Structure 1
Amino acid sequence: MAFSSQTPTIVVLKEGTDASQGKGQILNNINACLAIQDTLKPTLGPFGSDILIVSSNGKTTISNDGATILKLLDIVHPAAKMLVDISRAQDAEVGDGTTSVTILAGELLKEAKTFIEDGISSHFITRGLRKANELAVAKIKELAVEVKKDDPAEFRQLLERCATTAMSSKLISKNSEFFTQMVVNAVLSLDQNDLDENLIGIKKVPGGAMEDSIFVDGVAFEKTFSYAGFEQQPKRFTDPKIVSLNVELELKAERDNAEVRVEQVQDYQDVVDAEWKIIFNKLEAIAATGANIVLSKLPIGDLATQFFADRNIFCAGRVASEDMDRVLKAVGGRILSTCSGITSDDLGTCANFEEVQIGSQRYNFFKGCPEAKTCTLVLRGGAEQVIAEVERSLHDAIMIVKRAVSHNSVVAGGGAIEMELSKYLRDYARTVAGKQQLIINGYAKALEVIPRQLCENAGLDGIELLNKLRSAHAKGEIWYGIDFQRENVGNNMASFIWEPALVKINALESATEAANLLLSVDETIKNEDSQEGGRGRGAY
């Protein structure tokens, strides 16, 4: 009896599973990431263009913020989603550089693609990229200029310059002088120990010009839902006492809460009287505290509103949780869940309170707060898309200033630090033998994508300016970068084009990590849903 020596085929994966592997798979992943890079390249720098994104439900967004664009793009390629993740991570960690980190990661992969096609092992490439990244990060730390915090005026100038640089590529670049002051004031108003940017409230009011935006050193929130009697209440106080409640001051029909069985009409009246007595006891207890302003997270009904109006007390019910939290941070006191036993320690205060008309809406302003660890930016603009982009731009600038406060070392922007790192890595590569020299050289070449793309987006001659930059850096001009004012190269440190060193370090580390992760993947297994009567692809 003859036995077949051929091994039988064993099917492990479900029918319809798509498995592709090897060098072709790595190249496929790199090409997907390069397509993402091409989308973002035109948005880089002061002369970068904006992208109009229309979602499936017809909502339009205009932005040149890398993280925002990638979040709104419907990316299906699994490898390309890696770039979305590093962009979001950069946004969460330092707030700016979201486009740079994606472009750098794409360029590192483009350099690696050549080596992969030449047959160099992907593990060998990742080792070289890691080594180059370590050298680059160490060099940034060595070159970074630390600005002393001892002189408040000098330190404020550092923060303003970092904010101006962060805004240079945004919609608000033409109004950067106005918004720079607003951003720096906002960050400096926070508790300098934890710098929680969530305590900077941002409110958007359509209409007016961008420079009609208001910085409030305290809390501002939109007028809440109000009942009859609200207009009789005073709308301005000096040194008011403020009570913050989590109590509902509204008459509820008894049928809402319980079923009451009565035998006589008088019994029913007793129930109603008891309910009125309860709410009046609450209101009188509040009035007895001497409070001028009553805020509550829960509704304040028409009876309470009129009661307070008769006693020249201002009230606002249904205050949003985040607004109430910021009020407490600013005015002091504490939030109360009962109206009895309120002491003077439970009340907050501020220098001025007023209700202000802004555009078509009315806002409550609490200014001159003794505990001011919060502030509010009221943004104006002609269209909702414009205000939304102003908000994103200010968020980036706020995050940059926040990082500059906690890490006060800076480097020059405009491609200066990238060109210096490129020159340093090329010099180092000459001291390394073997293929590793090629990888480190490739990393150095990839770094030049930032100044090259800045030139391209500004309509300048990239080849000529890059040659000038290489020449300047070879002569020891470490802070030479693209100077857009003169359309030439120049000392960007002297021109005050500054960025926190942390932004550059984080961008390089994230981009290298993403490139290494993608290069280490050489097989993709994709499970497809069964279709057409339950038979997967390839079934017969």
Structure 2
Amino acid sequence: MSGFGGQTPTIVVLKEGTDASQGRGQILSNINACLAVQGTIKSTLGPYGGDLLLVDENGKQTITNDGATVMKLLDIVHPAARILTDIARSQDAEVGDGTTSVVVLAGEVLKEVKEHVEQGVSSQILVKGLRRASMMAVNRIKEIAVNTSEGNQRETLRKLAATAMSSKLIHRNAEFFTKMVVDAVLSLDQDDLNEKLIGIKKIQGGGLQDSLLVNGVAFKKTFSYAGFEQQPKYFKDPSIVCLNVELELKSEKDNAEIRVEQVSEYQAIVDAEWRIIYDKMEALYKTGAKVVLSKLPIGDLATQYFADRDIFCAGRVSSEDLERVCQATGASVQSTCSDIQASHLGTCEKFEERQIGGERYNFFEGCPKAKTCTMVLRGGAEQFIAEVERSLHDAVMIVKRAIKNNTIVAGGGACEMEISAYLHSFADRNVPHKQQAIIKSFAKALEVIPRQLCDNAGFDATDILNRLRVEHRK
């Protein structure tokens, strides 16, 4: 110790400029940051919630009231508030809807416990009380839930899809789109319910009612070379081959060097290059396939070759679209053109290239093994169609979730009010210590959902909530 003049040396562990703060002040700062985010998003909740117009640093505009989209586009820097963004994203990935509700509810729970933090209640006691309240809430939800497998399941699913759409731009066309969404989800493999097999294609022009559901696959015409115009654009019961092969005459790679002694040897090399691609095309022709699709480019030589033999081809097909074609037609992706068996080919009742709006689309309809479908959306502005796509994604996820889980609860804040009344009653009768106040704070926070729905609809929230409390405590 004498080497330091009798003083303990200062040990720097954190990098210079690091802000280290903890304790009650930091907790309150975190809560205030989360409440600021909640204040931004809560006006979008419910059927009468407004849409937000968000503009990023590049000037790109997004019009939406989808909670996950809003949270993603808000450039939040506060670390505690960013946790709310993660909550919204996980809710969107897992359930698909309810992203705004989850952020509003989380913010309100923090708002209600803020008073306890200011009074010096230990964070351990707060966490313990909130965990107990949430477990009781989950158990109560299980008690009041209704089974969807009883009665008319399709009608129940349509109501659920309509609820998911009620707060969206498409609520005026809800009846049209609910049928589309339910049909789309029920067309999937019911053991798997992979929503990625529902393709959504957006085409500007026309009205929302011009949108259609294809029981099969549809994708935008890919880039094509000269000679494509001569290929047939309509087939009945065609054989379909799907490839991960490039059908293009490739020049040698950069800096490749070939030493030849005679001109004839050079010609042999050129002939070999041509022979390689011709062998591939000949092998495909002999399979009897009438539609050739590939993830990789199909060049002008192959395009002309197939056109001369009345075969349709499309290269640079996206992996997602090719996967859905395989699922629908029964084809399997081939990495080589040799040894393609009949079992590797797919088929459908009808293949057609059609004009929709200003775009050409390839349609595969009447697929025997169809566990996939495609929604073709029409509409005006680009932002409008993008919001319609987000709305349909939420509805698809909700219907999928309902089929998997078989239980639903009432919406419109009814479930939250029931749990709130139950927790208030339980806390008054059974919890004598500090946790009573914490459980009651959690119960009060649940009331934010019906209150915000009333505020957004322009009703007197205080009056309606008082009447709801009376009804739920009868």
Shift of 1:4: 11
The whole-number CA distance in structure 1 between the counterparts of 2:127 and 2:271 is 79
The aligned counterpart of 1:537 is none
The aligned counterpart of 1:116 is 117
The whole-number CA distance in structure 2 between the counterparts of 1:126 and 1:271 is 75
The whole-number CA distance in structure 1 between the counterparts of 2:65 and 2:325 is 33
Which AA in structure 1 matches 2:123?
A: S
Whether the 8 Å CA contact 2:158–2:178 is kept in 1: the answer is yes
1:449 matched to 2:448? The reply is yes
Is the alpha carbon distance of 1:254 and 1:49 closer, same or farther for their aligned partners in structure 2, counting shifts above 3 Å? Answer: same
Is the alpha carbon distance of 1:207 and 1:287 closer, same or farther for their aligned partners in structure 2, counting shifts above 3 Å? Answer: same
Structure 2 matches for 1:430-469, cutoff 5 A? 430-431=428-429, 432-469=431-468
Structure 2 matches for 1:378-527, cutoff 5 A? 378-431=376-429, 432-475=431-474
The aligned counterpart of 2:131 is 130
- Superposed CA offset, 1:460-508 (max 9, x none): 1111111111121122xxxxxxxxxxxxxxxxxxxxxxxxxxxxxxxxx
Task: Please identify, of 133-142 and 366-375, the stretch whose mean Cα deviation from structure 2 is larger.
Answer: 366-375
- Superposed CA offset, 1:296-317 (max 9, x none): 1122111211111111111111
The whole-number CA distance in structure 2 between the counterparts of 1:336 and 1:171 is 42
- Superposed CA offset, 1:172-220 (max 9, x none): 1111111111111111111111111111111121222122222111111
Is the alpha carbon distance of 1:258 and 1:11 closer, same or farther for their aligned partners in structure 2, counting shifts above 3 Å? Answer: closer
The whole-number CA distance in structure 2 between the counterparts of 1:391 and 1:105 is 27
The aligned counterpart of 2:276 is 278
Which AA in structure 1 matches 2:97?
A: D
1:144 matched to 2:145? The reply is yes
Shift of 1:264: 3.8
The aligned counterpart of 1:85 is 86
Structure 2 matches for 1:271-310, cutoff 5 A? 271-310=269-308
Task: Please identify, of 275-284 and 68-77, the stretch whose mean Cα deviation from structure 2 is larger.
Answer: 275-284
Larger RCO, structures 1/2 (Cα 8 Å, 6+ apart): 1
The aligned counterpart of 1:10 is 10
Out of 242, 245, 264, the position equivalent to 1:244 is 242
1:184 matched to 2:182? The reply is yes
Structure 2 matches for 1:13-162, cutoff 5 A? 13-148=14-149, 154-162=152-160
Is the alpha carbon distance of 1:131 and 1:167 closer, same or farther for their aligned partners in structure 2, counting shifts above 3 Å? Answer: same
SS in 1 for 2:70: helix
Q: Give the alignment's Cα RMSD to 1 decimal.
A: 1.9
SS in 1 for 2:409: strand
Whether the 8 Å CA contact 2:148–2:402 is kept in 1: the answer is no
Shift of 1:292: 0.8
The whole-number CA distance in structure 1 between the counterparts of 2:6 and 2:437 is 45
* Divergent runs of 4+, >6 A: 2-6
- Superposed CA offset, 1:438-474 (max 9, x none): 1111111111000000000011111111111112112
The aligned counterpart of 2:352 is 354
Whether the 8 Å CA contact 2:219–2:321 is kept in 1: the answer is yes
The aligned counterpart of 1:502 is none
The whole-number CA distance in structure 2 between the counterparts of 1:167 and 1:9 is 64
Aligned length: 471
SS in 2 for 1:205: strand
The aligned counterpart of 1:336 is 334
Structure 2 matches for 1:162-181, cutoff 5 A? 162-181=160-179
The whole-number CA distance in structure 2 between the counterparts of 1:234 and 1:456 is 59
The aligned counterpart of 1:517 is none
SS in 2 for 1:79: helix
The whole-number CA distance in structure 1 between the counterparts of 2:386 and 2:394 is 13
Which AA in structure 2 matches 1:434?
A: H
Shift of 1:5: 11
The unaligned stretches of length 5 or more in structure 1 are 476-540
The whole-number CA distance in structure 2 between the counterparts of 1:86 and 1:251 is 51
Shift of 1:341: 2.0
Task: Please identify, of 336-345 and 386-395, the stretch whose mean Cα deviation from structure 2 is larger.
Answer: 336-345
- Superposed CA offset, 1:355-405 (max 9, x none): 011111111010111111111112222111111111111111111011001
Shift of 1:11: 3.6
The whole-number CA distance in structure 2 between the counterparts of 1:192 and 1:15 is 57
Shift of 1:282: 2.0
- Superposed CA offset, 1:397-427 (max 9, x none): 1110110010111111001000101110111
Structure 2 matches for 1:231-270, cutoff 5 A? 231-254=229-252, 258-270=256-268
Whether the 8 Å CA contact 2:205–2:379 is kept in 1: the answer is yes
The whole-number CA distance in structure 2 between the counterparts of 1:253 and 1:21 is 65
Which AA in structure 1 matches 2:446?
A: L
Is the alpha carbon distance of 1:89 and 1:255 closer, same or farther for their aligned partners in structure 2, counting shifts above 3 Å? Answer: closer
Percentage of pairs with the same residue = 66
Q: TM-score, with normalisation over the residues of structure 1?
A: 0.84
Structure 2 matches for 1:186-201, cutoff 5 A? 186-201=184-199
The whole-number CA distance in structure 2 between the counterparts of 1:38 and 1:253 is 60
- Superposed CA offset, 1:10-51 (max 9, x none): 242444332222211111111111101100110000010111
Q: TM-score, with normalisation over the residues of structure 2?
A: 0.95
The whole-number CA distance in structure 2 between the counterparts of 1:191 and 1:448 is 39
The aligned counterpart of 1:491 is none
1:320 matched to 2:318? The reply is yes
